[in-house]
Structure 1
Amino acid sequence: MRAIIALIVGCLSIMAVSAERKPNIIVIVADDLGYSDLGFQGGRDIPTPNLNKLAARGMRLSNGYVSGTWCTPTRAGLLTGLYQQRFGKHGHEYERDNALDLAETTLAQRLRAAGYVTGLVGKWHLGSSDEYHPQRRGFDEFFGFLHGGHNFLPDLPMIIFPDQNGDGEDFFEDAWAAAHLNRAIMRGTESVDETSYLTEAFGREGVSFVRRHSDQPFFLYLSFNAVHTPMQATDLLVAMFASVQDPVRRIYNAMTYSMDDAIGAVLDQLQASGIEEDTLVFFISDNGGPKLHRYGYNASNNSPLRGSKGTTLEGGIRVPFLISWPGKLQPGGLFNSPAISLDIAATALAAAGVSKQPQRALDGVNLLPYLQREVKSMPHKQLFWRSWGQMAIRQGDWKLVRYVAKMDEGELKRGEPRDIMTPYRLYNLRRDVGEQQDLAAAEPERVADMLEAWRAWNTQMKIPPPS
């Protein structure tokens, strides 16, 4: 009888430990991904079965945004939960070495303090000197590169700013770029000779991290440089899209397919390790697809949105956004209220039961009660943007925006000035997601009210750098 009682008590203890387990957290970030290039976003020419499966298991945020118009600012906001304009010398619109202010605490630091093992696989782009190294910013493990880009295969030409035929300056001819954007992969603080296709290597390392830490709560920041330039893929991958006539799009498709495959390998490992239901997964892009030469054109597709990476139009800041947590969130669900990448930190901390206790209140919001329909209101009354003299504010269905005027001409070449802005323009995004019909003249009071709100927000931010 005692043996039976002991067995029952043991089983109950195991169940209690399982019930109390903190969820694993995975944040997956794509780089320069087009809004409509994935199957769950309506894309048809690139197979993305694994991300489609993640969308089917989780929830899609149809009005999902990032806080920046390009790589570094978005990443600074994502890892702090704060509008990145709040910190750094210039509000992270320009910081020396793109370094994340040492006064700020990252999501990784908060989770590690709560007992999580933390890992970064992929692109960092938040400072390359020793004090800014990922393992000084909360990550136990690091495999990837420190700067804003990297060759996908060693020693290939590095065309960071291709034209629509894929031609352009080879950055290998620049000594700094050749030294820092090629054969610059690190494991921890040591250089490694990585010869695999880089997206596949990041998938391999993500799988390894999950497998090795499946018995304890972990945070994995899986930060791809796909589909950022240089446009590079293996011959085998490119051959899959041989029928695509556009030479840049052909490689873009191959790069996107490879990223989806790498993500699938990580998701499969969750299942193999028996921790799929214990894992909260976020997927997002760091900004919209670059449609302009100045921002590293890659033939991405942002339709039905207008604009590009580098602009405050929807095509620059509205991105694919998924959140999956089996058993906790509605599978195949759709959330239509505006949400932003800043919410990832707040949501992850809440899921982990971690007290935020930041130096200042987070700008991000815990989305779980909204996604679970416990709260009926919208998580944000307003969202704000500021980038390189451009601005935007979203309030309900309405958006007030001012952006680089050259965008209306359809091209902005590298080296061309971007200091001439459009007038303030007003759009109703529910009726006009493509931002085609400017309603500013018809709604002057709304324009004035929204501009006043944006200016009040802006007074709380760091002063931007001189243009």
Structure 2
Amino acid sequence: MKVRTLYLFAVICLQSSLTNLALAQERPNVVLIFLDDSGWADFEPNNKSVHYTPNMGELAKEGGTYHNFYVPQAVCSASRAALLTGSYPGRTKIFGALKPKDKGLERTFATMGEIYRENGYRTALFGKWHLGDSDGTRPWDRGFDETAGILYSHDMWKHHPDDPETWGKYPLQFWENGKVIIEDMEEVDQQNLTNRFTEYALQFIEKNKNDPFLLYLPFNMPHVPLFIGKEFEGKSGVGKYGDVIMELDHSIGRINKALKGFGIDNNTIFIVTSDNGPWLSYGNHAGKTPFREGKTTSFDGGIKSSLIVKYPPLIQPDSFSNDTFFSIDLLPTLCELSGITLNDKDLDGKSMVNLLKGETDFKNPHEYYAISNLNNLEAIIDGDGRWKLHITHPYKSVLQQGNDGGSGKYKQQTLEMSLFDLQNDPFERHNVREMYPEITKKLWSYYKAHFEKYYAD
């Protein structure tokens, strides 16, 4: 009797183990690369004439390119909070760029790392966090099993080009799994960051190749000041910014190659995008966008980012889409693909799995998307992505670009309430508010509703 009981117990355990193994193999891995201040036109296939980026070109041929992908605010911390929580800045109250020692994202908002770890995934973050630098808000406290990198922007240090006295009060530390391993980084440390983050990522992939994992890789480049690994110095032929892009492209290629080498690329959702558009005031040290203005503005040059997604079971190779969606939609989309339910999570984003499938009758589930700058709600885009209403607001336009790492000059301007037809005027040049009063009225009603929900207090 005891032998039979032990036998049945062993069979049950074996069946359970096989079921768990099959489940683990079915659940896709996620590799999410989030660049910093990269321009929409920095990489192939959006632009082949400025930078040579064959690995991004290859990734695009193996997956899908999404031409109308946006972030809800064109500044570091606000954009990262939106990505990782699926919620607008108005909800999380993360606006602009956090400073060293800032409290950061409240624990009431679950991060992608926390959600995936709760559902059996191994999680890692290697790169720039920028969502809190105080106890309880750092990445190892917010759902990431393995971490390495910096906790805020790498220009917030003693060599800041405009204000070294202020930023020099804060050492730029390099952390690994909750411990400081470089107390105050020097230029030589920064030059190796892109390669270092890539090496961490490759080791994590190899170690977890047989289990489902989430790898979040927020590179700190190409944000100024620019730093390049010695292998890539002067190699692009188009200046320092081109060298940085070349090194990032190389890293992306290494990760794609590793996924293929371990035979897990068909079961991995591989995403490359950016936190916002280029910081145009830095001239030849800034990225390229064909759209109006850049980082820190609510124009498309600031909030529209390049996006490539590779996931062979779902996305047709060498495909592209002009449908609109926002970074707040990535979390619910990835969770649906990963079999993770979000019933108890109150998010602003919605799943875009049908868009990734390439359904010809895809209909965006949002009535509108909201755009903010710092804690000011400034614009509304309709769910279809055609109409964009700017509420009267000030903005900084680049008057004179800087050169070789120096910041240029801005001119403070004010935009009156303007309606732009993004389908026929993607560069936001012609205000058609008086021509389309009903559309203006509808978008204005969305603005008021969103304002009342998140900004009225």
The TM-score, its normalising length taken from structure 1, stands at 0.83
Residues 287 and 318, structure 1, Cα contact 8 Å, conserved in 2: yes
1:353 aligns with 2:339: yes
* Structure 1 counterpart of 2:216: 221
Residue aligning to 2:48: 43
Checking the alignment, whether the CA contact within 8 Å between 2:292 and 2:428 is kept in structure 1 is: yes
Q: Matches of residues 320-399 of structure 1 in structure 2 within 5 Å?
A: 320-360=306-346, 362-374=347-359, 376-388=362-374, 389=376, 391-395=378-382, 396=384, 397-399=386-388
Counterparts in 2 of 1:202 and 1:64: CA distance versus 1, 3 Å = same
Residue in 1 that maps onto 2:431: 438
Distance in 2 separating the partners of 1:409 and 1:443: 32
SS across alignment from 1:41? coil
> Structure 2 residue aligned with 1:425, among 415, 418, 424?
418
Residue deviations 1:411-452 (CA, integer Å, cap 9, x gap): 79889796x631011111111111111212322332232112
1:300 aligns with 2:283: no
Matches within 5 A, 1:124-273: 124-149=129-154, 158-159=159-160, 168-169=161-162, 173-174=164-165, 176-177=167-168, 179-181=170-172, 184-193=173-182, 195=189, 197-234=192-229, 236-242=231-237, 244=238, 250-273=239-262
SS at match of 1:356: coil
TM-aligned CA distance change 1:101 to 1:297, over 3 Å: farther
Deviations 1:304-329 (A, max 9, x none): x1111000000000110121101221
| Superimposed CA distance per residue, residues 138-167 of structure 1 (whole angstroms, 9 cap, x where no aligned partner) | 00010111112259xxx9x834xxxxxxxx
Residue 391 of structure 2 is aligned to residue 404 of structure 1: no
What is the aligned partner in structure 2 of residue 92 from structure 1? 95
Q: CA deviation at 1:280?
A: 0.7
Distance in 2 (CA, whole Å) between partners of 1:279 and 1:316 is: 29
Identity of paired residues, percent?
A: 27
CA gap 1:18/1:276 in 2 versus in 1, 3 angstroms: farther
Whole-Å Cα distance in 2 between the matches of residues 100 and 394 of structure 1? 26
Aligned residue pair count: 426
Partner of 2:444: 451
Q: Is the alpha carbon distance of 1:378 and 1:190 closer, same or farther for their aligned partners in structure 2, counting shifts above 3 Å?
A: same
Q: Partner of 1:74: helix, strand, or coil? A: helix
**1:281 matches 2:276:** no
What TM-score do you get using the length of structure 2 for normalisation?
A: 0.85
**Kept after mapping to 2: 8 A contact 1:38/1:44:** no
Match of 1:5 in 2: none
> Equivalent residue of 1:337, what SS?
strand
Alignment-mate amino acid for residue 236 of structure 2: F
| 1:97-112 paired onto structure 2 within 5 Å | 97=102, 99-112=104-117
Q: 1:95 to 1:257 in 2, by over 3 A?
A: closer
CA contact (8 A) 1:338 1:380 kept: no
Q: Secondary structure at the match of 1:460?
A: helix
Closer, same or farther in 2 for the Cα pair 1:178/1:383, shift >3 Å?
same
Q: Which amino acid aligns with 1:237?
A: F
Structure 1, residues 247-284: CA drift from partner, whole Å, max 9, x if none? xxx11111111111111111111111111111011211
Check whether the contact 1:158–1:230 (CA below 8 A) recurs between aligned residues.
Answer: no
Residues 1:33 and 2:38 are matched in the alignment = yes
Question: How far is 1:37 from its partner?
Answer: 1.1
Query: Paired residue for 1:6?
Result: none
Aligned partner of 1:263: which letter? I
Deviation, structure 1 residue 381: 2.9
Q: In 2 relative to 1, CA 348–405 (structure 1 residues): closer, same or farther, beyond 3 Å?
A: closer
Q: Which consecutive residues of structure 2, in runs of 5 or more, have no partner in the other structure? A: 1-13
What does residue 79 of structure 2 align with?
Answer: 74
